[in-house]
Amino acid sequence: MAPPQNPMPAGGPLVEGPADPEHDPTAVYALEPDYVAGLTSRLVATTGRTAAVRSPLDGAPLAHIPQSSEDDVAEAFVRARRAQAAWARTPIDERAAMLLRLHDLVLERQDEIIDLTVLESGKARKHAFDEPLHIALTARYYARTAHRHLDTRRRLGVVPGLTRVEVNRVPKGVVGIISPWNYPFTMALCDGLPALLAGNAVVTKPDAQTMLTALLGARLLDEAGFPKGLWQVVAGGGPEIGGPIVQRADYVCFTGSTATGRLIAAQCAERLIGCSLELGGKNPLLVLRDADLEKAAEGAVRASFSNAGQLCVSMERMFVADQVYDRFVERFVARTQAMTLGATLAWENDMGSLISQDQLDTVAAHVDDAVAKGARVLTGGRARPDLGPYYYEPTILEGVTPEMTCFGRETFGPVVSLYRFHDEADAVARANDGDYGLNASIYSQDGDRARAIARHVRCGTVNINEAFGATFASIDSPMGGMRESGMGRRQGSEGIHRYTESQSVATQRLIRFAPMLGMSDETYAKMMTANLTIMKKLGRA
């Protein structure tokens, strides 16, 4: 690999380098040791062991992260519970004001967030920008709608005028959040913000590959004014540290693979606690015969190659109407071939690196398997070690059949398969085929028809004339998966109510729910029967 001559933006706050070649001849990027120490001091980690975080840009160690033990997880919960008791009494407006401060901080410090995200994940800078953007949107949305979700609400009482019913939203307590590496800033924070607003504390275990970005999120929460004990961060392996979190939490929010989600669901079921699971997908994009093909091809590039396809909602299957197939494919391939590729901190790249050797191996194995079984590569289909150690070209496949691994299994990389369809019902049936149901996209110039088709698609979100951004950035709408893509929803009222228990409080006046004034049980039953009949006639609920 030819290292970039001037990899850092001028005056970038984090990076010094190139690092001393005598000590680490492969390192191109390095972080200020004091900066790293400042971030890792936020961890509960006393084992004395560390694990390296490597930058996918050059494959060299970026930092060494102190590791937590099960005792550290227990200590994190003690601290979180202590902080939560006071936090639950903090007025909602004060909690919301902290979210609005976080919003401003995230926008002000976006260069720092983006630098660290790119260094840890290898993604293109423009895809890293999506992360502070999403957190700012989430913080503002929940701050501004806090009362709508959390205020005590009146409900219908059984006896109008005499039974007053109110429903309180009570925080669950301490929420455990286990998050993946693919959107390290977004995934570290977005599910935790509504948990905090609802009066909970959080103990979180971000993925080991992207700890620094997650720790920067914790630091920004501190700076926004959230009490420090409220957001505890631990570090370590999934089963070793994630398991003890699930054993202690009052609710678990997990984002990651379907395989791990299934394990976590079983552990939560054993403890009778709730969980939400945001899992994998094999998402379909439909190009109908009346689609604007330029828009569809432009959207298809973003749909499949944002974050090098390491995106739960990105598109790995495209179903294109026979009438427009050739014209769409020509445009999609041309746009893909025109992409600027590179693993650097600069803005100009259209697609960055995969995160690790494991990801590269999976992507290469899926493509090699498909090609060996007869699929055609329209563009891409090879690693690019000249660009970065884990770089793989954006790849479009044709002729993918059910016996190929990438037909139904999530690749989680920059690989998409194209399929023709003759009629729309058949396209929807094929889009619904398989175990997943996360996100879908439909391109058509007839919005009504596309929305009607969307109702038959078994996915938690459907974007019309957009890939995934329209639903994901519309924070008021719930986001999550059907079938094996998940359970529960993030965002919207669903995304905050999952962190609360509803508590009904009914105050009864004048009458009681039993015979009164010497009335017999039989007379009471007759009176109540008459009452029910009258209520129905009056149209009461």
Name which of 237 and 385 has its Cβ closer to ligand NAD: 237
Q: Using an 8 Å Cβ cutoff, are 99 and 224 in contact? A: yes
Single residue of 58, 410, 424, 484 touching ligand NAD by CB under 6 A: 410
Q: Using an 8 Å Cβ cutoff, are 405 and 429 in contact? A: no
Applying CB under 6 A, which part among 15-23, 35-43, 179-187, 388-396 lies near ligand NAD? 179-187
Q: How far is CA 71 from CA 43, 78, 234, in A?
A: 13, 11, 11
Smallest distance from the beta carbon of 236 to ligand NAD, in angstroms? 8
Dihedral of the CA atoms 289, 293, 295, 297 (nearest 10)? 110
Single residue of 26, 163, 247, 257 touching ligand NAD by CB under 6 A: 257
Q: Using an 8 Å Cβ cutoff, are 378 and 398 in contact? A: yes
The CA-CA-CA angle for residues 16, 17, 20, to 5°, reads 125
Find how far residue 455's CA is from the centre of its chain. Answer: 23
Single residue of 58, 250, 278, 350 touching ligand NAD by CB under 6 A: 278
Single residue of 279, 329, 375, 450 touching ligand NAD by CB under 6 A: 279
Is position 21 an interface residue for ligand NAD (rule: CB under 6 A)? no
* One-letter amino acid for residue 450 of the chain: A
Token reading at 85: 């008791």
CA–CA separation, 500 and 96 (whole Å): 16
Q: How far is CA 295 from CA 65, 313, 480, 488, in A?
A: 44, 19, 26, 32
Smallest distance from the beta carbon of 264 to ligand NAD, in angstroms? 6
Applying CB under 6 A, which part among 84-92, 236-244, 283-291, 530-538 lies near ligand NAD? 236-244
Instruction: Given the residues 112, 131, 223, 278, select the one marked as catalytic.
Output: 278
Q: Using an 8 Å Cβ cutoff, are 303 and 315 in contact? A: yes
Q: How do 231-233 and 201-205 pair as beta strands?
A: parallel
Residues 477-496, one symbol each (x = binds ligand NAD by CB under 6 A, - = not), give ----x----x----------
Q: How far is CA 148 from CA 143, 144, 145, in A?
A: 10, 9, 5
Name which of 8 and 124 has its Cβ closer to ligand NAD: 124
Applying CB under 6 A, which part among 30-38, 105-113, 175-183, 289-297 lies near ligand NAD? 175-183
Name which of 99 and 211 has its Cβ closer to ligand NAD: 211
Is position 380 an interface residue for ligand NAD (rule: CB under 6 A)? no
Is position 184 an interface residue for ligand NAD (rule: CB under 6 A)? no
* 278 annotated active-site: yes
Q: Using an 8 Å Cβ cutoff, are 372 and 364 in contact? A: no
Name which of 194 and 486 has its Cβ closer to ligand NAD: 486
Single residue of 181, 305, 391, 407 touching ligand NAD by CB under 6 A: 181
Residues 423-442, one symbol each (x = binds ligand NAD by CB under 6 A, - = not), give ---------------x----
Smallest distance from the beta carbon of 493 to ligand NAD, in angstroms? 18
Name which of 142 and 436 has its Cβ closer to ligand NAD: 436
Residue with tokens 């720092």: 112
Single residue of 305, 412, 421, 443 touching ligand NAD by CB under 6 A: 412
Token reading at 472: 């994901």
Name the E strands within 234-379. Answer: 251-255, 274-278, 283-287, 315-321, 376-379
Is position 243 an interface residue for ligand NAD (rule: CB under 6 A)? yes
Residue 357 makes CB contacts below 8 A (sequence gap 6+) with 389, 390
CA–CA separation, 458 and 282 (whole Å): 12
Is position 312 an interface residue for ligand NAD (rule: CB under 6 A)? yes
DSSP 1-40: ----SS-SPTT-SSEE-S--TTT-TT---EE-HHHHHHHH
Name which of 7 and 180 has its Cβ closer to ligand NAD: 180
Tally of CA atoms within 13 A in the half-sphere of 239 that contains its CB = 3
Is position 199 an interface residue for ligand NAD (rule: CB under 6 A)? no
Applying CB under 6 A, which part among 4-12, 216-224, 272-280, 365-373 lies near ligand NAD? 272-280
Is position 265 an interface residue for ligand NAD (rule: CB under 6 A)? no
Name the E strands within 110-200. Answer: 153-155, 163-171, 174-178
Name which of 14 and 440 has its Cβ closer to ligand NAD: 440
Is position 182 an interface residue for ligand NAD (rule: CB under 6 A)? yes
Name which of 121 and 336 has its Cβ closer to ligand NAD: 121
Smallest distance from the beta carbon of 141 to ligand NAD, in angstroms? 17
Residues that contact ligand NAD, how many (by CB under 6 A)? 28
Name which of 242 and 342 has its Cβ closer to ligand NAD: 242
Q: Using an 8 Å Cβ cutoff, are 374 and 382 in contact? A: no
Is position 280 an interface residue for ligand NAD (rule: CB under 6 A)? yes
CA–CA separation, 395 and 380 (whole Å): 4
Single residue of 173, 176, 194, 281 touching ligand NAD by CB under 6 A: 281
On the question of a cis peptide bond just before residue 25, with omega within 30 degrees of 0, the verdict is no
CA–CA separation, 222 and 13 (whole Å): 20
Is position 180 an interface residue for ligand NAD (rule: CB under 6 A)? yes
Token reading at 378: 């329209």
Single residue of 33, 160, 239, 385 touching ligand NAD by CB under 6 A: 239
Smallest distance from the beta carbon of 481 to ligand NAD, in angstroms? 6
Is position 413 an interface residue for ligand NAD (rule: CB under 6 A)? no
Which helix (H) or strand (E) segment is 486 a member of?
Answer: strand 486-487
CA–CA separation, 104 and 88 (whole Å): 24
Catalytic amino acids? 278
Interface with ligand NAD (CB under 6 A): 178-182, 187, 205, 207, 238-239, 242-243, 255-257, 260, 263-264, 278-281, 312, 410, 412, 438, 481, 486
